[in-house]
């Protein structure tokens, strides 16, 4: 599998981007969880957005970034799989020269993702935490190894703008085994569990194609030695008034999807219990499948974006996982763009 194409072709366009997403959860002690996003064109970069507003020919290759969050659950939340608090936040944006990509390896400064010849995905992070006002914090050193080979699935189109800019999502490993070793400051942490990996890429800005979107993924509990099954849902409301709705089922983590559904179901109207002024849907539906956010399961809470613990279900079974909600109309606002400068650290070459 190529890390560079076709994702880098999209990122090289004006306003383009590509990101590689990794999520890992401790399934032994059920204590820790983490998310990693490596960007060739950070879609949340206020600096990238500002350059485009000024009419500059900026591309995703000009704005590589590393985002990482570590969560720790309290004892009361472990049985339910609910998060307790964010332990560490990284949002570091680098100069263009920090991005180095080959067929199997994506590197940003000292951090990288490598698809090894052994069929495993090897990840190393060497970053400083990002404190408010973009100040550096504790040192993070991490190594992750995902053992499941990625399924051979082509990218799925999520939408295209009026100008013809196209946005894609591609699952890479929906329920892989993961080994995590990391050091935060001087404290070492280690856990084993389950990982979800994908990538998204597009040849233009998300906010030029979508109003908002919901996304969720989950896995079943493996019982009696049976392999876990997985479900991924997308529900994206486009600027052209249409809805992109996808439900992708996996009977085997490393196998091809059993069903890919496309429908026009609307997001449920129940948006009570907002996150930090953002009214996040309790539930969204795609055909016979749905995702419901769990009370007390907030992971990220911002004026335009939320990540949360979710329970997914279809006609046959239920899945425990993570959901996200993104409001791109809010993201466009100057106040939100200004706030983002305080949560992003520009690392000078």
Q: What is the pLDDT of residues 186-216, one digit of tens each?
A: 999 999 999 999 999 999 999 999 999 999 9
The band of 53, judged by pLDDT with boundaries at 50, 70 and 90, is very high
Higher model confidence: residue 170 or residue 83? 170
The pLDDT value recorded for residue 255 is: 66
**Is the per-residue pLDDT at 275 higher than 80?**
no
Taking the alpha carbons of 216, 67, 98, 179 in that order, is the dihedral positive or negative? negative
* pLDDT per position as a tens digit, 101-133: 998 899 999 999 998 878 889 999 999 999 988
* pLDDT per position as a tens digit, 305-328: 999 999 999 988 999 999 999 999
**Is the per-residue pLDDT at 139 higher than 90?**
yes
The pLDDT value recorded for residue 154 is: 85
CATH (domain of 207): 2.40.370.10
The pLDDT value recorded for residue 142 is: 98
Domain count, the chain: 1
Contact predicate 309/81, CB 8 Å: yes
CA–CA separation, 233 and 219 (whole Å):
12
Does the residue 17 lie in any domain?
yes
* pLDDT per position as a tens digit, 279-305: 888 999 998 899 999 888 888 888 899
**Is the per-residue pLDDT at 269 higher than 50?**
no
The band of 78, judged by pLDDT with boundaries at 50, 70 and 90, is low
The pLDDT value recorded for residue 83 is: 52
Range from 99-103, 124-128, 222-226, 328-332 carrying the lowest mean pLDDT: 222-226
Q: Considering only CA atoms, which of 44, 112, 21 is closest in space to residue 344? A: 44
Q: Among residues of the chain, what percentage have pLDDT more than 70?
A: 87
The pLDDT value recorded for residue 300 is: 87
Does the residue 2 lie in any domain?
no
The pLDDT value recorded for residue 272 is: 46
The pLDDT value recorded for residue 73 is: 80
Higher model confidence: residue 264 or residue 342? 342
CA–CA separation, 25 and 180 (whole Å):
9
Mean pLDDT of the chain: 88
Mean pLDDT across the stretch 160-172?
93
For residue 349, what are its two tokens? Answer: 């070459």
* pLDDT per position as a tens digit, 236-255: 999 999 899 999 998 876 66
Does the residue 159 lie in any domain?
yes
- Which domain range does residue 59 map to? 7-346
Does the residue 1 lie in any domain?
no
CA–CA separation, 34 and 304 (whole Å):
20
Mean pLDDT across the stretch 216-226?
77
According to DSSP, the residues that pair with 33 across neighbouring strands are: 25, 71
Its pTM stands at 0.92
Contact predicate 160/110, CB 8 Å: no
For residue 240, what are its two tokens? Answer: 């052209």
Task: Give the C-alpha distances (Å, rounded to integers) separating 16 from 45, 62, 95, 170, 326.
Answer: 12, 10, 16, 16, 18
Most confident residue range from 31-35, 61-65, 238-242? 61-65
Exposed, middle or buried: residue 66 (CB in 10 Å: 0-12, 13-18, 19+)? buried
Does the residue 275 lie in any domain?
yes
Exposed, middle or buried: residue 266 (CB in 10 Å: 0-12, 13-18, 19+)? exposed
Contact predicate 275/301, CB 8 Å: yes
**Is the per-residue pLDDT at 70 higher than 70?**
yes
The pLDDT value recorded for residue 223 is: 61
């Amino acid at each position: 599998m190529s890390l560079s194409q076709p994702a880098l072709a999209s990122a090289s366009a004006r306003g383009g981007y590509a990101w590689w997403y990794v999520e890992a959860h401790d399934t032994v002690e059920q204590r820790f969880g983490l998310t990693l996003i490596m960007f060739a064109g950070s879609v949340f970069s206020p600096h990238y957005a500002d350059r485009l507003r000024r009419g500059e020919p900026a591309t995703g290759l000009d704005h590589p970034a590393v985002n990482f969050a570590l969560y720790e659950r309290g004892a009361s939340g472990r049985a339910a799989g609910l998060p307790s608090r964010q332990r560490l936040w990284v949002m570091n944006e680098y100069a263009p020269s920090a991005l180095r990509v080959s067929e199997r390896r994506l590197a940003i400064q000292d951090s990288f993702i490598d698809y090894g010849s052994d069929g495993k995905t090897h990840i190393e992070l060497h970053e400083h935490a990002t404190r408010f006002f973009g100040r550096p914090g504790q040192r993070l050193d991490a190594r992750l190894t995902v053992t499941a080979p990625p399924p051979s699935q082509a990218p799925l189109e999520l939408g295209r703008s009026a100008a013809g800019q196209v946005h894609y999502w591609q699952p890479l490993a929906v329920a892989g085994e993961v080994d995590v070793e990391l050091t935060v400051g001087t404290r070492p942490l280690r856990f084993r569990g389950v990982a979800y990996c994908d990538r998204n890429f597009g040849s233009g800005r998300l906010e030029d194609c979508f109003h908002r979107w919901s996304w969720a993924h989950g896995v079943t509990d493996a019982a009696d030695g049976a392999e876990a099954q997985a479900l991924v849902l997308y529900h994206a409301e486009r600027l052209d008034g249409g809805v992109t709705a996808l439900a992708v089922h996996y009977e085997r983590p490393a196998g091809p999807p059993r069903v890919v559904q496309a429908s026009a179901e609307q997001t449920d109207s129940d948006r009570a219990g907002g996150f930090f002024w953002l009214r996040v849907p309790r539930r969204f539906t795609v055909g016979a499948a749905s995702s419901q956010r769990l009370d007390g399961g907030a992971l990220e809470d911002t004026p335009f974006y939320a990540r949360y613990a979710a329970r997914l279900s279809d006609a046959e079974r239920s899945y425990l996982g993570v959901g996200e909600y993104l409001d791109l109309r809010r993201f466009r606002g100057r106040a939100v763009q200004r706030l983002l400068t305080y949560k992003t650290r520009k690392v000078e070459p």
